[in-house]
Amino acid sequence: MSVLETLIEYPGPFLAWMLPMVGAMLMPVFGRINQKLRDYGAVLFAFSAVVAAATMIPYLFSGHSPGDVKLVTWLTLPNGAPLEFGVLVDPLSIIICNVVASISFLIVVYSTSYMHGDPGLDRYWFLFLYFIGNMLLLVMADNIIMTLIGWEGVGICSYGLIGYYYRDDKERWLGGPPPTKMFPPSHAGMKAFVVTGIGDVLLLAGVFIVYQYAGTFNYVELVQHSEEWLAHVAQVPGLVALMAVLLLGGPIGKSAQFPLHEWLPEAMAGPTTVSALIHAATMVKAGVYLVARMSPIFYIGTWTLHLPEAQVYFVAIAIVGAFTCFLAASQALIALEFKKILAYSTVSQIGYMMMGLGLGGFSEEAYLVGLTAGVYHLASHALFKASLFLGAGAVIHAVESIYISDMGGLKKHMPKTYWLMVLATLSLSGIPVFSGFWSKDAVFISALVAGTPLAYALLAVGVVSAAMTFAYSIRYINRVFRHEESKFIKDLEHHGHHLHEAPTVMWVPIAILVAMFCTVGLLGFAGLFNEGLNPEVFIEGQMHHMLEAILPHEVAEHLHVPHVGASTKLVGVGLSAVALALGGLLGYNFYWARNWDPWAWVQASRIRIATHTFLWNRWYMNSTYYVVFVEGVLSLKQLIYDNFEAKALIPLSDAVAKGSQMLSDALYADVEERTIFGTINTGVPSLVAGVYHRVKTTQTGLLSINLFYMAALLLVLIIGMIIGGGL
């Protein structure tokens, strides 16, 4: 088909990411014409992505996705293979594309009120829409190169959005409260760009290895020919494992997993709408998507080729995900910045997604279960976490403080926001029957299906992290909405600043998100009685269809689709209940009923004080990174300057400069003055002048004399020609 015919037949997959990019380019133009035109234009272009993405939903129900749709040959690779510009339309890309487009649109609507009057809105809307377009390109791309273009696009936009308040006004700093160190927005944006860039370099190195042996960047071709090229990679000991780890570097960085997770807490420096966009539905999910997209290659390597090194891909990301779950949840327990608590929560919940995807490779039976759990929790988390961030934005907008210690008693001032955030918090905590309960339970079940000792150990970490999640959720809800009003709020009211509910255009998008994840949760409950209504079963079926289409035929035929027994499901529910009971006990007594004074409890033991200090300082990871990579580099620079540059290089430079000056003076005196100036500059003109004066006397001006000269010259020429011809 021609390019036009392809676009006409499959408009949605291309328009979904193209239209937001076009809108981004038009934002500065619209801003010059009319500010309302610009704002409404941003909403329109975001909505167009929703419509384009929605046109692909029927493929999920028909069971016949277009698959790899190639538009045009882009360029020819060094080995002669073509790199084509196309999209991969399968259940994984369709589901995530719709999640990203719909949530991004609601955040755009919310932004029209939240960002109203901001002087930098042209820049904001450009970065926002361009971010959406690049994220959708990343998801829809049919090859790694196009994915990397979208990947770096969201990275550049996140730098601009996180550091949106680049003038670093003091009220925009985050961290603290003093004397704890605080960070300016520009610093936070650069930190995100550099840290995620480290992961991107690792990813790029892994991609080079893949191309060296596979000869293609196309996802479908990589999977379908993986038996051949993975076998060649395996001939070099350790190279498959190295490739697996490198390919995980980018996702670990983008999705803020240990050890590249420290950029995300500071990323709260941007507007709350940016936090909702980047940390709920989009950028941090990019890593999860890429891990899922590349996992069939390593599934074949592990269970078809039986390469132990291939399983490193699954084991590494499962361990990283489980540890990150626990690490971030522990930090959320003591954080005071409202958005930072939610940021730690995001890091922790993405850890569950990574853990689910990793557990899928622990056994053949667990692969489809783990893949389903990761994708299910991705969609579920995107809905309830976006609503939490938008709710937090409404609160911070009203209170004008980022610290939960400055809040309290907001339930009576912001009742709609309170109830919406309570519902979202219940889903985050995994309370039945909300979507978060079913999706987190799916991760637990994937560990049970995997059935290895390591899987059970990671499951235990996940259960403990779930308990901490419920505890810190109770903490922030109580401290923000139910606790007595803080002195900060009383002072605000005393000075005439009356707290009020968020405008309709802000709380309605939150309500829509809440309705969406509540619907998913209710469908999960209905699925207990009618399996056809269960979202988890639906996603599992879609993942199965995707794998059947992309895996080699002989591998797809032996793909295990396990029937998870009722006993396994009951164990998963039981573990969730244990986590809720433990977290609820602590949260209720420490924060809700306040039967126990948390600070007095900490102060009662040196071990607890040390533990609190350890957690408050973020496990000393952030400070260690600063000591090694920032202060260490600066110290090394100073050391090199003091001991090499100042003592050796600068004196050597001075000596060379003095020697050059002396040589220059000598050359000037002996060569330039005496030879060039004295001989050439003076002698040549004198010689020419002398010749001129002698020749001048031969020019009489008489015609007869001039004819004699011409005849003599002609005679000389004739004699010369005769002599030359004779030779």
- Has residue 173 been placed in a domain? no
Q: Tell the residue number behind the tokens 């009211």, with chain if given.
A: 493
- The terminus-to-terminus CA distance of the chain in angstroms comes to 75
Where residue 622 falls among pLDDT bands split at 50, 70, 90? confident
Region 515-534: mean pLDDT is 94
What does the radius of gyration of the chain's CA atoms come to, in whole angstroms? 35
| Number of structural domains in the chain | 4
pLDDT above 60 for 292: yes
What proportion of the chain, given as a percentage, has pLDDT over 90? 66
Domain identity same for 204 and 315: yes
Q: What is the mean pLDDT of residues 242-270?
A: 92
**Other C-beta atoms lying within 10 Å of the C-beta of residue 52:** 23
Cα three-residue angle 448-450-456, rounded to 5 degrees: 55
Closest CA relative to residue 188, chosen from 265, 96, 93, 109 = 265
The per-residue pLDDT for range 159-172, each reduced to its tens digit, is: 999 999 988 888 88
Bridge partners for 68 per DSSP: 88
Residue 283 confidence (pLDDT): 84
Please identify, among 560, 585, 616, the residue that sits at the C-terminal boundary of a domain.
Answer: 616
Residue 351: its pLDDT value, please?
A: 96
| Any domain includes 171 | no
Residues 662 and 558 in one domain: no
Q: Do residues 419 and 384 both lie within one domain?
A: yes
**At residue 337, does pLDDT exceed 70?**
yes
pLDDT > 80? residue 707: no
How many Cβ atoms are within 10 Å of 480's Cβ, its own excluded? Answer: 26
Mean pLDDT confidence for 458-464: 97
**If pLDDT is split at 50, 70 and 90, which confidence band does 702 have?**
low
Res 18: pLDDT: 95
**pLDDT at position 57 over 80:** yes
How far is the C-alpha of 726 from the C-alpha of 582, rounded, in Å?
118
Cβ 129 vs Cβ 107: under 8 Å: no
Q: Is the pLDDT of residue 727 over 50?
A: no
The more confidently predicted of residues 614 and 560 is: 614
**Average pLDDT, stretch 537-554?**
92
What's the mean pLDDT when you consider all of the chain?
90
**DSSP state string for 352-397:** HHHHHHHHTTSSTTTHHHHHHHHHHHHHHHHHHHHHHHHHHHHHHH
Percentage of the residues of the chain whose pLDDT score is greater than 70: 97
Query: Over the stretch 640-695, which tens digit does the pLDDT of each residue have?
Result: 888 888 888 888 888 998 998 888 888 877 777 777 776 776 777 777 777 767 76
Residues 649 and 718 in one domain: no
Instruction: Tell me phi and psi for residue 83, to 5 degrees.
Output: -105, 115
Give me the long-range contacts of 672-681 (CB less than 8 A, separation at least 24): none
Average pLDDT over residues 625-629: 80
Q: How far apart are CA 155 and CA 194, in angstroms?
A: 10
As a residue count, the chain comes to: 727
Question: Is residue 703's pLDDT more than 70?
Answer: no
Enter the DSSP assignment of 141: B
Residues 651 and 605 grouped into a single domain: no
Q: Which residue has the tokens 């000991």?
A: 237
d(CA 686, CA 681): 9
The residue range of the domain holding 722 is: 703-727
pLDDT digits over 88-100, tens only? 999 999 999 999 9
User: How confident is the model over 259-283, as a mean pLDDT?
Assistant: 85
Q: Which of 272, 209, 217, 219 is nearest to 239 (CA)?
A: 209
Same domain, 363 and 503: yes
Residue 175 belongs to some domain of the structure: no
Written in H, E and C, the secondary structure of 295-324 is HHHHHHHHHCCCCHHHHHHHHHHHHHHHHH
The answer to whether residue 372 sits within a structural domain is yes
- Let me know whether 668 and 715 are in one domain: no
* Structure-token pair, residue 23: 């809108």
Dist CA 355 CA 52 (whole Å): 32
Mean pLDDT of 345-355: 96
Same domain, 156 and 298: yes
Count CB atoms within 10 A of the CB of residue 308: 12
Confidence of residue 717 (pLDDT cuts 50, 70, 90): confident
Query: Which of 195-199, 304-308, 646-650, 675-679 has the least mean pLDDT?
Result: 675-679
Q: What is the per-residue pLDDT across 204-214, written as a single tens digit (0 to 9) for each? A: 999 999 999 99
Is the confidence at residue 725, as pLDDT, over 70? Answer: no
The residue-averaged pLDDT of 210-237 equals 94
Indicate if 454 and 329 belong to the same structural domain: yes
Last residue of a domain, one of 556, 586, 616: 616
